Amino acid sequence: MLRGVARARCGSNRRGSHSHSWQSRKNVLLRYFTIADTVSSRLATEDVEVGGASIKAGEGVIVSTLSANWDPAAFKNPAELDVERGARHHLAFGFGPHQCLGQNLARMELQIVFDTLFRRIPTLRLAAPAEDLPFKNDAVIYGVHELPVTW
């Protein structure tokens, strides 16, 4: 997620603007990266139809929250990373009775980290091209293996 933050800061022509805090920006990053995709799984307790697909009672379903968060019907230009436009109704923490139990802690941590980090080190930036960063494409939780930075 830090990679996205660094890139978003480098790419934004509103870099110096304080009109939005990380309170709303973090929602965009949570939506865009959806770092815990397919960890939401459910068992149908009755026959149900979802988006034209029929699911029988007893069948298991693995939910792609990334797919939901990149649905153009829900988010305009979902592949565009614009931290200023908000994404309050994203599904990065899942949905329903089993949605992420730690989401309030995670939201608070992200906000405090980003607010503090960029206030304390305003010149913080990537020390390598974003395209060269090694990604965990084979793990359950998405992220980078390493993130070289400079300031």
Tokens of 49: 């139809």
- Nearest CA-CA partner of 92 in 57, 115, 66, 116: 66
Nearer to ligand HEM, 28 or 92 (CB): 92
User: Among the candidate windows 15-23, 45-53, 71-79, 89-97, which touches ligand HEM by CB under 6 A?
Assistant: 89-97
Number of residues that bind ligand HEM (CB under 6 A): 17
Site string for ligand HEM, 34-53 (x = CB under 6 A): -xx--xx-------------
Report the alpha-carbon distance of residue 107 to residue 70 in Å, rounded.
20
Query: Closest distance between ligand HEM and the C-beta of residue 83, in Å?
Result: 16
Q: Give residues in contact with ligand HEM (CB under 6 A).
A: 35-36, 39-40, 65, 92-96, 98-102, 105-106
